A and B are shown apart, each in its own frame.
Chain A
Amino acid sequence: MNLRNTLSFERKYTGAHIGIAMFALFLGTLYGPLQALEHAGINLYFLAPWTKSYYHGLTLHGVLNALIFTTFFISGFLTYVVSYSLKRPIAFRWVANLGLILMVVGFVTAAIPLLLNMATVLYTFYPPMKAHSAFYIGVTVLVVGSWVVGLSIFLTLAAWYKDNPGERAPLAAFMSAITFAMWQICTIGAAVELLALLIPWSLGFIDGIDPQFARTLFWYTGHPLVYFWLLPAYMSWYVMVPKLAGGKLFSDPMARLSFLLFLIFSTPTGFHHQFTDPGIAAGWKLIHSVLTFSVFFPSLLTMFNMWASLNIAGKMRDGTGYVAWIAKLPWGKPELTAQLLAAILFLFGGIGGIINASYNINLVIHNTAWVSGHFHTTVGSAVALTFIGTLYWLLPHLTGKGLFSKKAALAQVWTWFVGMIIFSRGMHLLGLLGAPRRTQMGVAIKSEIFFNPDWNVPMIWVGVGGTILLISYILIYVNVVGTLVAGRKLSDEEIPDVPLADAVSRPEQGPMILSRWKPWLATATGLIILSYGPMIIQSIYNYQATSPGFQPW
């Protein structure tokens, strides 16, 4: 009996996660083009009449896209990949179900104040801006739910280890578990911020809060959060893209090495979001800057391995030369093309990321529109477009229904690519010209001091890019809804399999340490203690609970 049929619970479970994720993206991403066009001077907010202000919409955009869509998609996708690559069902269904239920309860609890404009604090919820307590409680329950999903993944993997003593876990399962291990380590910061500071404060148990310390706790989680988004995309680029391209993964041991390096280097880097914060000593910022440069290294490994794997696929399809083989890749498959274009956009994201992480150079771009330009090539493309590409095989796989329109999917993928290049180029440029981020630009420029005539042209880039992205966004849902409602029922042979590539360099060729857990977890913990410990102790010592809450929206 084929594996897919034995995993019918897992398919439903993952389907539920993905369904919620796509619902969140539907509402969240609607605001993207609205914001972009607002910057270009065109107000389309009548399309979302429940939106009370630009910032209400921006909060929904950030929370629904960056927190809800990602967390649900990743939880569902990785749970399935683990079961499929280990060829075994979820170890404890009740644990998995508990995780999902907590996540849904958390999402709904947070969504109510969000929609009612009672939590218009943006997705970073910096105090002393104070949201309704239901928002903080909801976010906390959502995170706890994702921990339980992670636990369910660990339990499934542990059951596999028990049946296969001394063996190396298949790459896809190994990477998924690393992603969740990193997530469990790094969410401690936000959990402490929410449980010890924000929730008691919003419920009125404590009067004041220390905003600087809250920021430090937030960014302890905030940077690895971006790796929580990115690693599942990398997993797909390593394990699935080579298969979709008709080739093999170049090196399995090197893929493992890169993920283990992400595990240890993702977290001790948070101060690179706080270079301009007044309350942290420059020396600590420099240390985190160096550590951030270290975390680029596994991304360079990823780039090499991915290029080499695609090269194998290209040559197997009679491609030649140093670059000409690229044309031979099966670009007609939207599920592949989406991920290739996502990876190309990520090159820009990575280069921009080095600039952001560059200590004093950060003074040029911190909190300008540049930053928004940057993360739309990373989470908004490398991650989101990879996930949408994944959907193009996963949806038929889960539902047994054929993709509604391959042409629409290809058009979607290319319009996202082109739209994002134009949009993001405009935002980067605006930032360099001194335009702030998180700002209702269309109104701001009406004040005389605020306006810089050089902004006119990049504003048009932003508007044009946003319009193209609006088309792309609609095309996503044409296919999602079309497939569910009118997708052709596939026969068993037609249903796409989960694309898991073999590797040229086999896992056994690498040293055993690349498949162990303890040394890497210990190193990760040690680095965090060294890079954060003294600063946290000092912050507690200097803690001043002076800030009351404000609701200036």
Chain B
Amino acid sequence: MTTPHEMHPDEWIDPYEKIMMVLGVLMLTGMMGTLLVAAFAFGIQVPSPEKQVNPNTISEQGPFSEPGLRDLGGGKYEAYIIGQIWSWNPREIRVPAGSTVTFFITSKDVQHGFLLWHKNLNAQIVPGQVSKYTITFDEPGEYPYLCHEYCGIGHHTMSGVVIVE
């Protein structure tokens, strides 16, 4: 029995392996390509730095001193949310169907994680930084949000809900 490799002993890359390498590169490039299309043609993006804040003073000054929803008119809203041990402030947000909500989320103590069900909102919440995501809610219903980064022994009780009416 001989392998293709033994038939071409002078070549250090086996002919079959060359085929495999080309297919592998094509596959990886193709997958990367679809991601780029999703990112730039459909605008599904990961977050970029929004701004830095001081976690020790956010409750006294700046937009996070009054967490909650702001109505900007025309179906547009801003939601300022603070993660803290072990709750979200606010715990409930109500908007009419068809609204576009820009979330600004930060933490005033340890790291948290913000996971909004049924939407592409998945954020690592890091004290000192603000996470910004814009989400449109067309369908009425409940969209729970949970903490998905360990934040202490009450971590598993940290949840809230967006109610779309």
A interface residues with partner B (beta carbon < 8 Å): 53-55, 58, 120, 122, 126, 128-129, 210-212, 215, 250-251, 253-254, 274-283, 285-286, 289-290, 293-294, 296-297, 300-301, 304-305, 308, 311-312, 315-316, 354, 358-364, 366-368, 434, 436-441, 443-444, 447, 449-450, 452, 504-505, 509-511, 542, 544, 546-548, 550, 552-553
Q: How distant is the Cα of A309 from the Cα of B154 in the complex, in angstroms?
A: 51
Is B12 a contact partner of A363 (Cβ separation < 8 A)?
A: no
Check: B89 CB closer than 8 A to any chain A CB. Answer: no
The 5 A-B pairs at the shortest CB distance, nearest first, are namely A552-B152, A436-B148, A444-B156, A278-B129, A367-B148
Find chain A residues with CB under 8 A from B21 CB.
Answer: 300-301
Whether A122 touches B150, Cβ cut-off 8 Å, given contacts A254-B13, A286-B39, is: yes
B46 CB to closest chain A CB (Å) equals: 5
Q: How distant is the Cα of A300 from the Cα of B31 in the complex, in angstroms?
A: 15
Interface residues of B in 16-31 (CB under 8 A from A): 16-17, 20-21, 24-25, 28, 31
Whether A449 touches B28, Cβ cut-off 8 Å, given contacts A360-B39, A552-B151, A552-B153, is: no
Find chain B residues with CB under 8 A from A286 CB.
Answer: 39
Interface residues of B in 112-143 (CB under 8 A from A): 113, 115, 117-118, 120-132
Q: How distant is the Cα of A439 from the Cα of B47 in the complex, in angstroms?
A: 24
Whether A277 touches B126, Cβ cut-off 8 Å, given contacts A360-B35, A542-B52, A544-B52, is: yes
B41 CB to closest chain A CB (Å) equals: 12
Q: How distant is the Cα of A290 from the Cα of B35 in the complex, in angstroms?
A: 10
Is A547 a contact partner of B31 (Cβ separation < 8 A)?
A: no
Contact of A282 among B47, B55, B120, B126 (CB under 8 A): B47
Check: B14 CB closer than 8 A to any chain A CB. Answer: yes
Is A439 a contact partner of B148 (Cβ separation < 8 A)?
A: yes
Find chain B residues with CB under 8 A from A510 CB.
Answer: 12
Is B144 a contact partner of A293 (Cβ separation < 8 A)?
A: no
Check: B59 CB closer than 8 A to any chain A CB. Answer: no
Total number of B residues with any Cβ neighbor in A under 8 Å: 70
Stretch at the interface among B2-10, B61-69, B71-79, B94-102: B2-10
Q: How distant is the Cα of A263 from the Cα of B156 in the complex, in angstroms?
A: 39
Is A438 a contact partner of B110 (Cβ separation < 8 A)?
A: no
Find chain B residues with CB under 8 A from A294 CB.
Answer: 28
Is B14 a contact partner of A505 (Cβ separation < 8 A)?
A: yes
Is A276 a contact partner of B144 (Cβ separation < 8 A)?
A: no
Is A278 a contact partner of B5 (Cβ separation < 8 A)?
A: no
Contact of A552 among B16, B109, B131, B147 (CB under 8 A): B109
Is A297 a contact partner of B31 (Cβ separation < 8 A)?
A: no
Q: How distant is the Cα of A274 from the Cα of B55 in the complex, in angstroms?
A: 20
Is A251 a contact partner of B14 (Cβ separation < 8 A)?
A: yes
Find chain B residues with CB under 8 A from A553 CB.
Answer: 152-153
Seed contacts A212-B129, A301-B24; 6 additional CB < 8 Å A-B pairs: A128-B111, A283-B48, A304-B17, A360-B38, A546-B56, A552-B110
Find chain A residues with CB under 8 A from B118 CB.
Answer: 434
Find chain B residues with CB under 8 A from A443 CB.
Answer: 156-157
A251 CB to closest chain B CB (Å) equals: 6
B18 CB to closest chain A CB (Å) equals: 10
Find chain A residues with CB under 8 A from B149 CB.
Answer: 126, 367, 438
Q: How distant is the Cα of A297 from the Cα of B47 in the complex, in angstroms?
A: 28
